[in-house]
Structure 1
């Protein structure tokens, strides 16, 4: 998977996938109501070293990679919860378009 070794035992984080309730529409103040649509195991990895440096050099806000088994319905509008932490999906990678694993390149939200 593009240099990322994935085994079921590495999916040790329990995450919840959320989508905007009622579609992708935000109110004028930027608030969005969210609804849970899936809970699954994943690997949540902070970017380190060269990856983080490359992301910052490209002026990217990506700071985490979340790896999970492929599932339909994951979009850039998806939000990921890990406990009380929230992540915004920036990019979705379906390596080789084999529908086996998804790599979500995310930014952790501060609240």
Structure 2
């Protein structure tokens, strides 16, 4: 990835990190809190349909590109226009710490 064209990072997203709190029954309840507001490029990657409990569920996958950060991980998510995008993988495409490419799945 030699660089992105000017204006490619034009979508405003919120990066959210998980907060795990004890639920009183030996487990935990997970919620998310905002970490940063970022500029990103969002591109659809595909869609699939799975049958779960005799009903069809559709999953949309997207690729979110942001400027490089050292605190992005798979247990985080992006929020874009009210849509929650679970991060599936994080890649520094050229190992030069310029951009991160995050494969995401929309949470419905």
For the criterion TM > 0.5, the same-fold answer is yes
Equivalent residue runs for 1:19-98 within 5 Å: 19-22=17-20, 28=27, 31-47=29-45, 52=46, 63-98=61-96
Identify, as 1 or 2, the structure richer in strand.
2
Q: Which runs of 5 or more structure 2 residues have no equivalent in the other structure?
A: 50-58
Distance in 2 (alpha carbons) for counterparts of 1:107 and 1:33: 18
TM-score, scaled relative to structure 1: 0.74
How many residue pairs get matched? 96
Runs of 4+ in 1 over 6 A off after TM superposition: none
User: Deviations along 1:30-71, whole A, 9 cap, x unmatched?
Assistant: x41111011010011101xxxx48x99xxxx67100001001
Larger radius of gyration between Structure 1 and Structure 2: 2
Q: Which runs of 5 or more structure 1 residues have no equivalent in the other structure?
A: none
SS state of the match for residue 37, structure 2?
Answer: strand
Distance in 2 (alpha carbons) for counterparts of 1:44 and 1:103: 10
Kept after mapping to 2: 8 A contact 1:62/1:105: no
Identify, as 1 or 2, the structure richer in helix.
1
Q: Quote the RMSD (CA, aligned, Å).
A: 2.7
